Amino acid sequence: MNRFPIFAFCMCATFTLAQPKSSTYSTLVKKADSLYEAKSFRESAVAYSEAFALKTKSISSDRYNAACSWALANIPDSAFVQLDKIISDGFTDSFHASTDADMANLKNDVRWQNFLENARRNGEISKAKINWPLVEKLERIHSEDQRYRKLISSVETKYGKNSPEIDALWERIKKTDSINLIEVTKIIDEFGWPSRESVRGSSALFLVIQHADRKTHEKYLPIMRDAVKKGNAEASSLALLEDRTALENGRKQIYGSQIGTNSETQKNYLRPLEDPENVDKRRESVGLEPLKIYLKGFGIDWDSKQYILDLPEIEAYENKQFKGK
């Protein structure tokens, strides 16, 4: 199977991916994927079409996968409808498509060569827009940002959360963050938030801003909002910055991305959240997974009704811990 998962599609292409805004869209895409796996290709393609009918602009990787299902169902006209749409969105990976076994039924059609040629042309246009020196700088910054953070879990497990070793690691992280912040703010202040194509979708700018202080968050939040509107930054990343900035200013978070650890029990908890019962609608609107799945990774069982009951206690704890900060 050579179909595009979303992350692979993002790496290869240089266009903006619209995020699903309806739980029905997500449900239908999952249904289509399951039908594909069951080799019910026509039914899979129909499920994709039902999902696309809910939106004027769908995720392009889903449209590529729909084309695969139509091709395997031997309905080429419908497959090419989807392929034409992703060409318009900027699809570039002609090599992937040309080696995709799912597309075998299309390869003797004259439209197939036209599709590949258009993808190659998109690729040439994309390459011309890339700022390679900036890409290399951001790749280095991204690597440095994550380098020591990747050690946190193993150092905590070996030495403990309150050990001198973990304190030393955090000091190293803070020093690295301060150096990275100087470079990133210089880039944004001089040139603005770079286009997605020019930096190949790098997330380094967001990561460094996210790991900075409150003053930095407040300064660059409006700039990142504008970048998301223009398709140059991810809405899912912006959601994390929105949550962190809200909490820093004494408001509840919106998307439930921020986790705290109780210093007495050492248990993780979800920091104060606005309208808990509708959080998954907000999360899906920006491309985030359901909160229950996200929190499971932190050892937290999500129950919105219980959370509402626990919220006054959580807020009291936070007021005590973060008063004056």
The Cβ of residue 238 has, within 10 Å, a number of other Cβ atoms equal to 20
230: CB partners within 8 A, 6+ apart: 195
Residue 56 lies in a domain: yes
What does the CA dihedral 30, 36, 42, 46 come to, rounded to 10 degrees?
10
Q: Which domain holds residue 31?
A: 6-129
CATH of residue 90: 1.25.40.10
In this structure, the answer to whether residues 174 and 37 fall within a common structural domain is no
In this structure, the answer to whether residues 201 and 305 fall within a common structural domain is yes
Over the stretch 225-274, which tens digit does the pLDDT of each residue have?
A: 999 999 999 999 999 999 999 999 999 999 999 999 998 888 999 999 99
In this structure, the answer to whether residues 32 and 158 fall within a common structural domain is no
Residue 152 lies in a domain: yes
pLDDT at 19: 39
In this structure, the answer to whether residues 155 and 281 fall within a common structural domain is yes
Residue 12 lies in a domain: yes
Residue 151 lies in a domain: yes
In this structure, the answer to whether residues 181 and 209 fall within a common structural domain is yes
β-partners of residue 268 are 261
Q: Which of 129, 146, 173 is at the close of a domain?
A: 129
Distance CA 67, CA 48 (A): 9
In this structure, the answer to whether residues 121 and 138 fall within a common structural domain is no
In this structure, the answer to whether residues 261 and 138 fall within a common structural domain is yes
pLDDT at 127: 86
Q: Which of 129, 156, 191 is at the close of a domain?
A: 129
In this structure, the answer to whether residues 119 and 204 fall within a common structural domain is no
DSSP per-residue letters across 59-101: -HHHHHHHHHHHHHTT-HHHHHHHHHHHHHHT---HHHHHT-G
82's tokens: 């989807």
Distance CA 146, CA 191 (A): 24
Contact 105, 137 (CB under 8 A): no
pLDDT at 105: 97
Residue 265 lies in a domain: yes
Residue 1 lies in a domain: no
- Average pLDDT over every residue of 73-82: 97
β-partners of residue 261 are 268
In this structure, the answer to whether residues 241 and 318 fall within a common structural domain is yes
Per-residue b or e along 53-68, where b marks 16 or more CB atoms closer than 10 Å to that residue's CB? eeeeebbbbbbbbbbb
In this structure, the answer to whether residues 37 and 159 fall within a common structural domain is no
Residue 75 lies in a domain: yes
Over the stretch 133-187, which tens digit does the pLDDT of each residue have?
A: 999 999 999 999 999 999 999 999 999 988 999 999 999 999 999 999 999 999 9
206's tokens: 């967001």
Where is pLDDT greater, at 8 or 80?
Answer: 80
Q: Which of 109, 129, 149 is at the close of a domain?
A: 129
The Cβ of residue 128 has, within 10 Å, a number of other Cβ atoms equal to 8
Residue 122 lies in a domain: yes
Distance CA 170, CA 172 (A): 5
The vertex-223 CA angle with 221 and 224, nearest 5°, equals 65
- Average pLDDT over every residue of 298-325: 91
In this structure, the answer to whether residues 106 and 212 fall within a common structural domain is no
In this structure, the answer to whether residues 225 and 89 fall within a common structural domain is no
pLDDT at 287: 86
255: CB partners within 8 A, 6+ apart: 239, 240, 242, 243, 279, 282, 283, 286, 288
Distance CA 137, CA 142 (A): 9
**AA identity, residue 44:** S
Greatest Cα pair distance in the chain: 69
pTM for this predicted structure: 0.70
Tally the domains of the chain.
Answer: 2
